[in-house]
Structure formats: structure tokens, C-alpha cells
Amino acid sequence: MTRALEITFHRYPIAGEFRISRGAKTEAEVIVCAITDGGAVGRGECVPYRRYGETMESVEAEIAAIGDAIAKGVGRDDLLARMRPGAARNAVDCALWDLEAKLGLGRVADRIGVIAPAPLITAYTLSLGDAEAMGRQAAEYAHRTLLKIKLGAEGDEARIRAIRAGAPESALILDANEGWSEETLVSLLAVAAECKVSLIEQPLPAGRDQLLATIDRPVPVCADESVHATADLAGLRDRYDAVNIKLDKTGGLTEALAMKREAERLGFKIMVGCMVGSSLAMAPATLLAQGADFVDLDGPLLLARDCEPGLVYEGSTVAPPAPALWG
């Protein structure tokens, strides 16, 4: 029986506003790819990201273009050659993993060697604002184990100090989203070290991060926009200590698993992150994140409502997906 592919758009309102150095948004726009084979349906969700030149329409077109091949039985390994890394391939790849599980080929966790996936401690993200407002946010969420702080604008030193004062016991990840400069980098790294920050994500713009190779890094620095897939890793060893693996960048769980193995071999710390999406997007990432050094899978916590069924979050802890959701 041939397989059928269906593409649907979904919009989830964000609780409040999600702001980073490049702008703000009030809703998460996602695309769900559903692949049907007989009575079984596999689903995968992706989040198109304009930073990488993606729109809802362009990603929809990429997914639709592979539809005939999917109908003829093209599998996950073939996607690596047929589709570029990015959101579209992520949706199709994760839908195929889920479909295989629904067809009785085994739970995804078992098939990737995660025999007993455990609950994870995830970061909780605080949006960019002025120092006083972010200090209040930090105090409100100081009960959370790990906070991720959006930075990348003038006044970041004051923000870092205010956040540490507001949440003195929480581990902190600072995410500059390419918003620091060569002039501010060294001084902000020193402030981060003074405030006992655990990790700094992508302080300099991708392609203009060579300075990181020539200075002391008193806090580990993690590549995000500078790294997308396995082939990027070798060239980053001199300037980054960790890499953020996101399914929407790698183009799915298949490539992400390969990237994680190679990153570990090269000595990088592993962070598994996400775009702002529903539990359907986070579900495969919770399996990838088993054993990771840092986990940032709080997308559904930032939404006013989630998909049904969703992942189970208890405070900063997220449980692996139930079969009804994914995998």
C-alpha cells in the first residue's frame, strides 16, 4: 500500500511575549507532517525559522516536493540526500520515525539504544528585557534549577548581574543570539564568570566568531547559529566548547543522532535545544537529550496552550513521550 503525506499549519499563542535580540513574537507557527500507511499515522512537527531563510510557505513546499517519493516508500536514510538540513526535513524524518513505531517496528527509544529514557531537567527561558524587568523575572522563577537568559543588546552586563541577584541558586545559560561584539566579548565573559554562569550560547555572529579561538574562555561557549549538522563540527573545535543540537537545524532525528555521536567523539559538551513549538516537536528531542550536558526543551512551557496529548512537565522536569504522542 502506498503512503500518503499530509501537511497542516498550526498556531499556538505564546504566554505573553517571547523576545530575543532579533525581535519578538506572540505566537508559535508550526508545520505538522503526517504520513499514513494503512491504518498507521506518523507525525512530525517543525518550526520554520526566518534566521535561516525559512518561511511557512517555503517549508511547506519542501515537504510537498518529497511527497511522491514518500508514497513510493523512500525512507529516512534517503532523506539525507534528497532534502537539505532544516525544518522541512525534520518534520518528514520525525514523521517517519513515528510511523515506523506505529507500524510495530519498535519504540523509537529502544531502536536508538535508549532502553529506559529518563525524565530530564530542562532550562526555562527568560525573554530579553531591561535589567530591572529581567531581575524580577529571575526572582519569579528562581525556584527552577536551570534558567536560560536571552541577551544580546546594550546593557547586558547589568542584565547578567540583576538576573544572578534575582536567582542566586539557579544554574544560568546566557544566550546572546549573535548579539555581542568583538569589543564587548571579553568583558562580558568576565562578568559571566564572576556571576558563575554555566554556559554562554553563540555570543558572536555565525561566520564572524574567529575571536573565540584566540582568547581565554572562562565560561564554556556553545555554538548554536554556527552549527547545523555533523559536517560543521570539525571546524569549530578551536572556538567552542559545546554545541547546541536542534532538530530543526539538523533536519531531523536521524542526522541529530549522528551529529551527537560525532560531537561527543570530538570532545564537545552537548546541549539539546529547540525552537518554540509544541510537545510534538519536543518529543523526539527528549530521546536525543538523554545523557546531554544541557537540555533546553521548554517550548511548550512558553505557550498558552499545547497540543493534545502533550509531554508531562513537572516544574523543570520533563518526562519522555507516551506512545500516543510520538515514537
The residues annotated with a catalytic role in the active site are 150, 246
d(C-alpha 324, C-alpha 260), whole Å: 26
Q: What cell was used for 95? A: 514523521
CA-CA-CA-CA torsion sign (81, 85, 91, 94) = positive
* Neighbour count for residue 229 (Cβ, 10 Å): 19
Cell of 102: 506505529
- Do the Cβ atoms of 302 and 14 come closer than 8 Å? yes
Closest by Cα among 40, 42, 36, 49 to 88:
49
Beginning with the edge strand found earlier in the chain, give each strand of the sheet holding 124-126 in spatial order. 124-126, 146-150, 171-175, 199-201, 221-223, 242-245, 269-272, 294-295
Q: Which amino acid is located at 151 in the chain?
A: L
